[in-house]
Structure 1
């Protein structure tokens, strides 16, 4: 049975913080309460115990002999409470659904496999809520804590976020079989740059990689033609290219069935390889904080797409 004089944990935390900081004001700031609230908490504890526990001074405060004896005995209790808090956080985080944002190529061709692998390992796939968008928006969602984990495409990791490489993904220039390029089989980087393309919207990883690769091979930014058509999905881009609207540059994975059915032809670009990284991003820590997000990332790393 607890003694009527047993202090509550918050009061003990305040005493321990006063020992560390030497100040009621600094202790209050560390605990996220006002100085007035800390003083009131301390007065209530002293009245409850009938003892002065803190010697207050203008510049600093220190515990009395009895206050020091109480906090010495309280430290194991505070440590156990901290372990309990961490355990509760882990339990609650483990049962909380996580939001995963993925670029369209990853969302369409890889994320379903990763979620199945996560579920096969004992995870609850109902705890994963996915959002498909472009890479730029994935980075924003993770940076603003609207997504716990993101999967992105690009030529380099985004700044300000933790990053794990998963695989390389190759892009290809694709044209309809009756396009003039189909007879040639290859073109120069400058020919590609001058051609209006069917492309994804601005902010997509695919579009950024194409532009970066052409600029790296000496093509002037001013020589890059404006898109012939901007579309919101890989399938829409592939269908437009197959219909002869304009050439497209898109992931070879997304284009596999179109190439097999010869609805599209692959065109080589002299001395240029369009390659991007597929990777995972999260906000902080060596690993994502939510257990579901960590397990899903492990499933993605285990089932690396072929390079």
Structure 2
């Protein structure tokens, strides 16, 4: 049984869709169907149940999924170690990064990494921190980069970069009465924040609790799925946003946004690599070393 056939099965099993698997692997849907049928003939079992337009894994399918994930992980590690004997870095590395990291930190790093390791097939999945951790647990990515404060016990977190959240308003906002406010002032200020599951919101909530404030007591106009959306929202609405200082560097230089200090309210955080416990090494480790060596330029 070929490793590609297992890759086809994994794609169908994760997406629960022959169409999505076809798009993900860049092969025709009939070819996807043929690979699944050959697997079913080989094991003499049904791997999927068809329920109208939906498909579900059978018990045999769930068993094959469990072992296929481990087999593919072992195969990737074998490929990495065999090429390493010749000082070659070849293989596939699937990264996942939370939105802030993916938009404002990784692009120059990825460009430099691809330049130095052209034979590594690199891909990036973008989502909020909880989504990246879920993708890692489901073996859809090999290495994640997240920005939250909540940590799952079955995952290993390694420091990558330090970051800070700041309160920002548009330069024409009526909220610019002074350069500093108190945490209690937040109760009377309309806010636009990142969505649930984002590391940015996690850090802001923790900072609020240190001043006996709850998110539910604030006047939140909108929760948005990206920092770019928040910045654009601020251009058209008189409110305050909470974002990474890294995400507003250009706007602060041009003067289109202003930082408002929140007195005695620390919103420091870490960007972390995240891996499955016990699965360190391989190309993930190569990328982590490379990123850590170059993080002074980020």
Q: Establish whether TM, by shorter chain, passes 0.5.
A: yes
Measured at CA, do residues 245 and 99 of structure 1 come closer, stay the same or move farther in structure 2, by a change above 3 Å?
Answer: farther
* TM-aligned CA deviation for residue 223 of structure 1: 2.3
CA 1:87–1:246: 2 relative to 1, 3 Å: closer
How far is 1:273 from its partner?
1.9
- Asked if residue 228 in structure 1 is aligned to residue 221 in structure 2, the reply is yes
CA drift of 1:147 comes to 1.0
Aligned mates of 1:151, 1:194 — CA distance in 2 = 34
**1:286: how far off?**
6.9
Equivalent residue in structure 2 for 1:98, among 90, 93, 102: 93
Structure possessing the higher radius of gyration over alpha carbons: 1
Cα 1:186–1:286 change in 2 (3 A) is: same
Any conservation in 1 of the 2:175–2:238 contact (CA below 8 Å)?
A: no
Tell me, which stretches of 5 or more residues in structure 2 are unaligned? 1-76
CA distance in 1 between counterparts of 2:78 and 2:259 reads 54
**Backbone CA RMSD of aligned residues:** 2.6
Contact 1:199–1:237, Cα closer than 8 Å, also in 2: yes
Mapped to 1, the partners of 2:145 and 2:104 lie a distance apart of: 12
Shift of the 184–150 alpha-carbon distance from structure 1 to 2, 3 Å rule, reads same
Look up the SS of the partner of 1:192 in the other structure. Answer: helix
Q: TM-score, normalised by structure 2?
A: 0.66
| Per-residue CA distance 1:252-276 (angstroms, 9 max, x = gap) | 1111111112111110101012111
2:127 alignment partner in structure 1: 133
Deviation at 1:279, TM superposition (A): 0.8
1:262–1:169 distance in 2 versus 1, CA, 3 Å: same
Structure 1 residues without counterparts, runs of 5 or longer: 1-85
State the 1:123 CA deviation: 4.6
Name the one with the larger strand percent. 2
Cα 1:182–1:306 shift into 2, 3 Å: farther
Match for residue 292 of structure 2?
Answer: 301
**Are the aligned partners of 1:198 and 1:245 in contact in 2 as well (CA < 8 Å)?**
no
Q: Shift of the alpha carbon at 1:277?
A: 0.6
